[in-house]
Chains A and B, each alone.
Chain A
Amino acid sequence: MFEEYKNLWVYIEVMDGKAKNVGLELLNPGRRLADQNAEKLVAVVVGNDVEHIAKQAIAYGADEAIIVDSDIFDYYDTDLFTSAFESLILKYKPSTLLIGATNNGRDIGPRLACRLKTGLTADCTGLDIDSESGNIAWTRPAFGGNLMATILCPNTRPQIGTVRPGVFKKGTKDDTRSGRIIREDIVIPESVRKTKLLEVIREAAGAAVNLEDAQIIVSGGRGLGKAENFSYVRELAAALGATVGSSRAAVDAGWIPYAHQVGQTGKTVMPKLYFACGISGAIQHLAGMSSSDKIIAINKDPNAPIFKVADYGIVGDLFEVLPVLTTEIKRMRGA
């Protein structure tokens, strides 16, 4: 039905002149899916002065890269970027488009899908090919993570999905790989713009708690008992050079500001290490941190659901365990 729609595209989102990690991560499953469908894997980069990113994408597995390179694309804008993608898609007719589910990714995904009158599946955590139909099978959480759904887009093209950062790992980089880089000059009149960026604030109150990029996170939950006990969490975090996170219960109890909340209605994180202290592991919390590389749980309840996802779990009193960890880590780091 869709013979003219070919090839799997991955959007490589650019911020501050660098590719966001998720775009490079998606080249990994992208490669697998493209190979299964005997299609090309194409990286799409929209930005200003982005040729090096196209090369980076090819090193990470793309067969080709399409770049839209102009100073009007220096910073993300919904309408300019949507129009650029619309032009590209109408011209090249990809069968599939993967977009990293960053804030900007989740901004452009639906706008573009609606413009193209096609289906979009959001915040995917699994990508496969549906053996019956050959369509992409998009697997994603719903009901705060209580339910997983596998979605197909059988009747329209392209099939589009936003994919959660940190779920897939980047493939190995091979700088010897080469591939065609296609420059597309897309002229978009200023009148297309409907929004204007006035200011970027990097040290804002909310932004100061940068959980999304944190490599190590130490989170506290209801088991801490009261606000003052976050000191246990903060001290361990300081010793590790980690960011402090929180479950929703602790935020709702007023023990720590919302900016620290990890979970379905908080931030989604993907650190190398995630310490869950006094956190039971409600599904909505897991929804925010299950992409962590290694999860360490400390909880006195041996039946806490967190132990089902933890790589390491200590069943014990966090008020005794955390200080020991803190002291030992300081010692190991030669403090």
Chain B
Amino acid sequence: MDYILTDQQQEIRKLVRSFMEKKVKPYINEYERNSEFPVALHKEAFEIGLHGFEIPREFGGTNVGYKTSAVIYEELGKIDAGFALTICATNLALKPVLISGTQAQKALFSRLILEGGYASFGLTEPNAGSDAASISTVAVRDGDEYVLNGSKCFITNGAYANVYTILALTDPSKGARGLTAFIVERDRTGISVGKEEDKMGIRTSNTVEVVLQDVCVPVENRLGEEGQGFKIAMKTLDISRPFVGNIAVGMAQRALDEAVAYAKQRVTFGQPIANYQAIQFMLADMAIKVDTARQMCVHAVDLLEAGLPMSKEAAIAKCYSTDILVDVASDAIQVLGGYGYMKEYPVEKILRDSKIFQIFEGTNQIQRMVVSGALLK
């Protein structure tokens, strides 16, 4: 038993699982092979509401709650990391708006997501990854507008988003405390999307550079007050981290399932390899890791739902889930032996997809800083 769910939660999980199995799984490898963003598959996902499950009901979404969202992310991760991240990144961009936006801003952002399907979170820059304070994109106040200049890199969904949440410096002298968050609609003049990254994995996810050249946004698009951007971003990441963990758990579960199925039918020296203790112990260790990771993500989400502080737990959930993901994916290939290395089988992709999970959404080194910071307060 993985999650303890209500009947309604189970029904929603059933919907997502059957959708992914039927509508995405049979076709995703073709997109992966061509490194193509699966527009058609996402369109079908929109029809069942997969782009709106974190949007509040009053703004046209279905807001299923954190626990159900966690379950959904795991189901998405089981089938394709890129697909899962596309949806996760849209919701990542939404979170700052839900945390600090006005009703009008929430309504605007929600509408834009529901219309087009995607949003992007614009924090990272070539010189500012872990060191968010080194951001150099600026937002200069001009009357009742801000003018934004700068460039963001490694932006998920960048080429497809209808709207971006951009972090820019309104006061460069203050460092991190000079950051402000803005809603920037795609159709504002001056936004351009640069080259698409050619990645090791998550190749069905769109990762691009986004350049802002004299992009004007009205004051109404500023989230919260000037200087609140860093705090909003950190709170956003806290909430989002367990979900990244859930995606990782889904991917790891898939890898484990493939390894188990293979071990039962692969015969060497006259027996299925599942009869050998060496394999049994490998599979057991993989399962121990996956189940433990899942429960850590569930715990972080439980704290979130209860309104309790959860930065440390979120960091542990993300760090642990993604670290074990890489191990489990590698072990799954080992169990499948030579076949595991071939693209014809699904496990090598999981390993290629997995590495980035130790890096984005806060590197696992940053996660350890959060944990040690909490311990040594």
Contact = CB atoms under 8 A, between A and B. Distances in A.
| Whether chain A touches chain B in the assembled complex (some CB pair under 8 Å) | yes
Interface of A: 225-226, 252-254, 301-302
Interface residues of B, number: 6
B344 A301 contact: no
A252 B265 CA distance: 22
B265 A254 contact: no
A254 B344 contact: no
A253 B29 CA distance: 13
A225 B26 contact: no
Contact of A225 (B22, B27, B265, B344): B344
A301 B265 contact: yes
8 contacts: A225-B344, A226-B344, A252-B22, A253-B26, A254-B26, A254-B27, A301-B265, A302-B267
Nearest to A301: B265
Nearest to B265: A301
Interface string B17-46: 000001000110000000000000000000
Contacts of B344: 225-226
Contacts of A302: 267
Interface of B: 22, 26-27, 265, 267, 344
Contacts of B267: 302
B38 to A, nearest CB: 15
Nearest to A302: B267
A252 B21 CA distance: 10
Contacts of A253: 26
A226 B342 CA distance: 14
A253 B27 CA distance: 9
A226 B345 CA distance: 11
Nearest to B21: A252
Contacts of B26: 253-254
A207 to B, nearest CB: 26
Contacts of A226: 344
A199 B157 CA distance: 52
Contacts of B27: 254
Nearest to B345: A225
B173 to A, nearest CB: 59
Nearest to A315: B267
Nearest to B272: A303
A46 B265 CA distance: 54
Nearest to A280: B265
A221 B294 CA distance: 34
Contacts of A254: 26-27
A226 B28 CA distance: 13
A301 B27 CA distance: 27
The 8 closest A-B pairs by CB, nearest first: A254-B26, A253-B26, A301-B265, A225-B344, A254-B27, A252-B22, A302-B267, A226-B344
B243 to A, nearest CB: 29
Nearest to A225: B344
B234 to A, nearest CB: 44
A302 B27 CA distance: 30
A302 B26 CA distance: 27
Nearest to A253: B26
B238 to A, nearest CB: 40
A198 to B, nearest CB: 34
A226 B30 CA distance: 11
Contacts of A252: 22
Contacts of B265: 301
Contacts of A301: 265
Contacts of B22: 252
A302 B266 CA distance: 11
B337 to A, nearest CB: 15
Given A252-B22, A254-B26, A254-B27, 5 more contacts: A225-B344, A226-B344, A253-B26, A301-B265, A302-B267
A253 B21 CA distance: 9
Nearest to B344: A225
A320 to B, nearest CB: 16
B263 to A, nearest CB: 13
B290 to A, nearest CB: 25
A302 B22 CA distance: 29
B213 to A, nearest CB: 45
A29 B162 CA distance: 71
A324 B267 CA distance: 24
B26 to A, nearest CB: 4
A210 to B, nearest CB: 27
B232 to A, nearest CB: 43
A169 to B, nearest CB: 37
A114 to B, nearest CB: 36
A94 B203 CA distance: 70
A302 B264 CA distance: 12
A59 B267 CA distance: 55
A282 to B, nearest CB: 15
A328 B265 CA distance: 30
A254 B344 CA distance: 17
A211 to B, nearest CB: 23
A225 B22 CA distance: 16
Nearest to B26: A254
A254 B29 CA distance: 13
Contacts of A225: 344
A225 B262 CA distance: 13
A302 B265 CA distance: 9
A226 B33 CA distance: 14
A252 B23 CA distance: 10
A253 B267 CA distance: 25
A60 to B, nearest CB: 47
B151 to A, nearest CB: 41
A73 B343 CA distance: 60
B265 to A, nearest CB: 6
A228 B212 CA distance: 45
Nearest to A304: B265
Nearest to A227: B26
Nearest to A255: B26
A264 B265 CA distance: 26
A226 B26 CA distance: 9
A254 B23 CA distance: 9
A155 B317 CA distance: 67
B279 to A, nearest CB: 17
A8 B267 CA distance: 54
Nearest to B25: A253
